[in-house]
Amino acid sequence: MNPSLFSPEGLAGVIFLILICVTMIGAIIATCTKRLIRSVSGLAVCFVGVAGLYYFLSSPFVAMMELLIYVGAVCVTIAFAIMLAEPDEAKMARKLSGLSGGLAAVCGGAVSFALGYAAVNGHWMAPAVQANDGSLKMIGQSLLTKYSMVFELISIVLLVAIIGSVALARAGRRGN
């Protein structure tokens, strides 16, 4: 039941493959480059790919939030931090080689293999019926009813984060 390449489904499949590539390439750039600013760009690319995957998982809202928060906020923040803290890149590059690289590859490979193995071999049971369509409206409703605790927690976490980061940044400044 392979769809034709030129049917809408086929095109969607191609786009999905492209998205996977984008995600993987982004992840590779994010972890393997020497310069941090490049790895942030890689991270941004990876997140764009992930947002696309979310779109395929029929939750466009989360996809958009992924772009808005990860690419627009987190990546920018990290880029700012790199500018402010300006790591010594030559030194960094020197340290990258050797043992830690091998160790890291072994760790990462092992973890992903284990997880992938578990995923492929798992017996996942699909539910008989889904309670709703998981649309934006439903998310909103459940956020304010069933999962209101989560909602409150998010806001508290964010508030604490804002206050904490402002306090930390200011304290460092006064230390001069």
Among 18, 22, 25, 84, binds other proteins (CB under 8 A): 84
Among 25, 90, 131, 144, binds other proteins (CB under 8 A): 131
Among 18, 144, 152, 166, binds other proteins (CB under 8 A): 166
Q: CA 120 → CA 53, 54, 74, 113, 155, distances in Å?
A: 18, 20, 32, 10, 36
- By CB under 8 A, residue 77 contacts other proteins: yes
The angle at the Cα of 159, spanning 174 to 70, to the nearest 5 degrees, equals 95
Among 18, 25, 31, 144, binds other proteins (CB under 8 A): 31
- By CB under 8 A, residue 144 contacts other proteins: no
What is d(CA 139, CA 135) in angstroms, rounded to the nearest whole number?
6
- By CB under 8 A, residue 25 contacts other proteins: no
Q: CA 169 → CA 161, 165, 173, distances in Å?
A: 12, 6, 6
- By CB under 8 A, residue 152 contacts other proteins: no
- By CB under 8 A, residue 136 contacts other proteins: yes
